[in-house]
Each structure stands twice: as C-alpha cells, then as structure tokens.
C-alpha cells in the first residue's frame, strides 16, 4: 500500500528501465526477496489461504467438516447481528480515523507554527497512547467510564448530575464511548505523522503568505493542509485498518454489549470460532472483513494519489 504513494517519476525506476536487461540477471532479484517472501508466505499467505478454504466448510473444530460452498457467505448477508457489527465498525472509522485526522491536523499545525518550546516533549506525550497495549488502555478506560468512575465524578463535581450515566452500559452512548477511546489512542500516531509532514514545508511559503496578508486560518487551509496530503493518506489508511479490525478494545470494555450494541466483526469472528464452534462461519466473517479493509484502503490510496498528482 505504501509503495503506491511513491511518485510516478521515480528516478530509480527510470534508470532501471533504461538499463539493458540481460536474461541471466532475470532471476537474481527474486532470490533476494525469497527469504522474506517465504516468511511472509508461511505466516500470512498460507493462513489467509487456509481461512478462505475453511470458510467454504461447515466445521465445529472437532468432527469432520462438510463442504458447503458459499453457504457461509450467503448466510452472512442475512445475519442482522453481523450487519450491526459492520455498521459499528463504520462508526469506529469516524472515531478512529476521521476525528483523529481532524484533531491531528489542528494540533500538529499549532505545534509547528507556534514554535512551542519543548516540542519533543509534546510529541512524546501525544504519542504515548500508541505505546500502551490496547488491553491496558481498555482496562483504564473501563475505570474512567464506570458509574462511579472519574468521568461521572467530574460531571457531578461540575454540577452536571443529569449527564452522568453508566457509559459502557448505555444503549445509546456505549458505542461513541468506546469510539472515543479509539480517538484517544490514534490521535497521537496521526499527529506525529502530520508533524513530520509539516516539518518539510519551507518556511519561505509561510513568510510570503504572511506578506500577502494571510491569517492563521488561511495559512492552515492554503499551505499546511495541501502540503500534508500524502501524510493524511497514510494516516487514514493506518487508522482505518485499526478501526475495522478492532477486537481487544471491545472485548475488554463491553464484550459487545449492552445487548449487541457495540459488537464488531472481529469480535464476531472470535465468538463464532471459540464460543459457538462455528469455525467455517467465523472464517467467512474474517475473509469478508479482510476484503472490506482491502477495498477501503485501496480507495483511500487511490483518492489520495489523485489529489496529490
């Protein structure tokens, strides 16, 4: 995915094209990538192929599997619970990807332009949630969202008693509550990526904009945002993948509840394979999720490429 970000006028590729290609050298490059490819194949391609294979069977993990063709996929389409799960995943795309990119752009722009002292320290603080294991994050936030947790205590202290609720046990608010944990986690990564992008902007551009009388807002939209399009694409790709495959966060905070109001596709994979003993169906959900992630990342990159060029 990242390779598609490379500009088309790659000088290396051009010289390579001009070099006369002898037949004897044909296989050499492949020998170089062979070790890496073997590992990739053993730990990624083989399991993927195996999952696709399994998804065509009805199998409880114990007795003999029966071949059912595409039945598992057909039944996915009519599964209301699963539709809900994919719906929740799309809501998570907003909280894990769109919102953090919005926040990250502003935050990075402020940090870049304000020339704050101790930028490395801010960078570290903002990036910190990325470093903590998701399970730890989830446990911590479960405490924060608890009926007598920090959030509700703060609201009560501020006299906003009517707003307090059991955030993770509320049918309306549990999904955004879990989503905001995602925002908290991914904002750091996005901000650091964008900071790197913004550092490349030549300061002359800002100077001439200021001479032309542009304010901070104008500067943000006319210079900063266009300059970091490539970084935004990368950030969106990474965070969308994270949001769609979220499992541990939901597993630890709500187990998909209350009811099934926060269940996500990855959680359904786990539930089907380990709790219900429907390995084939679980594999089918997994494959469908993989395809969805692939399609969305592909689209994001295509759009990103088009805007950049």
Partner 1 sequence: MGALTLTVWDQEVRGGQNEQMKLLNAAFEKAYPNITIKRDSQSFDDLGKTLRLALSGKDAPDVVQANNARSSMGAFVKADQLLPLDDWAEAYGWADRYPESVLKYSEYSPDGKSFGTGSVYGLPQVGEVVGVFYSKKKLASLGISVPKDQAAFDSALAAAKSAGETPLLLGNIEKWPAIHMFGPVQGANVPSDQIEKLGFGNAGASWTTPENEAAAKRLSDWRTAGYFNDGVNGTDYDAAWQKLTKGEGVFLMGGSWLAADLQGAMGDDVGFFVPPTKEGDGAHVTGGTGLPFTVTKASKNPDLAAAYINFITNDEAMATLAKTGNLPIVNAEKYAPATGVLRDVYSAFGSVTKDGVLLPYLDYATPTMADTLGESLQGLLDGRLAPKEFTEALEADYADFTKAG
Positions touching partner 1 (CB under 8 A) are 60-63, 142, 145-147, 165-171, 174, 254-255, 257-260, 271, 274-278
- Write down the least CB distance from residue 292 to partner 1, Å: 23
- Write down the least CB distance from residue 41 to partner 1, Å: 23
Alpha carbons 149 and 169: distance in angstroms, whole number: 13
Between 177 and 238, CB nearer to partner 1: 177
- Write down the least CB distance from residue 166 to partner 1, Å: 2
- Phi/psi for 149 (5° steps) reads -85, -175
- Write down the least CB distance from residue 150 to partner 1, Å: 14
The Cβ of residue 176 has, within 10 Å, a number of other Cβ atoms equal to: 16
For residue 180, give the nearest of 111, 103, 120, 232 by alpha carbon. 103
Between 98 and 166, CB nearer to partner 1: 166
Between 239 and 254, CB nearer to partner 1: 254
For residue 246, give the nearest of 53, 91, 50 by alpha carbon. 91
- Write down the least CB distance from residue 265 to partner 1, Å: 16
Between 1 and 146, CB nearer to partner 1: 146
Between 226 and 277, CB nearer to partner 1: 277
- Write down the least CB distance from residue 64 to partner 1, Å: 9
**In whole angstroms, how far apart are CA 191 and each of 21, 41, 58, 273?**
44, 33, 45, 37
Q: By the 8 A CB rule, do 108 and 195 touch?
A: yes
Alpha carbons 88 and 246: distance in angstroms, whole number: 11
Q: Is the dihedral of CA 240, 242, 247, 250 positive or negative?
A: negative
Alpha carbons 48 and 53: distance in angstroms, whole number: 9
For residue 233, give the nearest of 139, 122, 115, 97 by alpha carbon. 97
Between 3 and 63, CB nearer to partner 1: 63
- Write down the least CB distance from residue 62 to partner 1, Å: 4
Between 100 and 256, CB nearer to partner 1: 256
Alpha carbons 251 and 267: distance in angstroms, whole number: 7
Count of alpha carbons within 13 angstroms of residue 78, beta-carbon side: 4
What residues form DSSP beta bridges with 58?
Answer: 66
Hey, what are 188's tokens?
């750091």
């Amino acid at each position: 995915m990242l390779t598609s970000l490379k500009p088309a006028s790659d000088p290396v590729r051009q010289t390579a094209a001009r070099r006369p290609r002898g037949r004897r050298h044909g296989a050499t490059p492949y020998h170089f990538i062979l070790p890496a490819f073997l590992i990739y194949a053993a730990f990624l391609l083989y399991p993927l192929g195996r999952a696709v294979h399994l998804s065509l069977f009805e199998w409880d993990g114990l007795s003999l599997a029966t071949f059912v063709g595409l039945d598992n996929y057909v039944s996915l389409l009519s599964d209301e619970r699963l539709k809900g799960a994919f719906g929740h995943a799309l809501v998570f795309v907003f909280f894990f990807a769109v919102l953090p990119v919005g926040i990250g752009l502003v935050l990075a722009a402020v940090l870049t332009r304000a020339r704050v002292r101790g930028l490395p320290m801010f960078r570290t603080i903002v990036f910190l949630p990325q470093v903590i294991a998701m399970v730890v994050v989830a446990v911590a936030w479960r405490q924060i969202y608890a009926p007598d947790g920090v959030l509700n205590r703060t609201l009560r202290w501020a006299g906003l008693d009517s707003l307090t609720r059991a955030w993770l046990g509320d049918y309306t608010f549990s999904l955004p509550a879990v989503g905001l944990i995602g925002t908290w986690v991914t904002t750091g990564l996005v901000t650091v990526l964008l900071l790197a992008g913004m550092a490349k902007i030549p300061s002359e551009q800002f100077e001439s904009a200021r001479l032309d009388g542009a304010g901070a807002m104008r500067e943000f939209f006319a210079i900063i945002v266009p300059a970091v399009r490539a970084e935004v694409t990368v950030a969106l790709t990474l965070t969308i993948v994270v949001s769609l495959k979220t499992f541990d966060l939901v597993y630890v905070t709500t187990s998909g509840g209350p009811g099934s109001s926060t269940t996500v596709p990855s959680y359904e994979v786990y539930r089907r394979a380990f709790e219900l003993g429907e390995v084939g169906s679980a594999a089918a959900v997994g494959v469908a999720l993989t395809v969805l992630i692939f399609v969305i990342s592909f689209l994001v990159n295509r759009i990103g490429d088009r805007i950049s060029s």
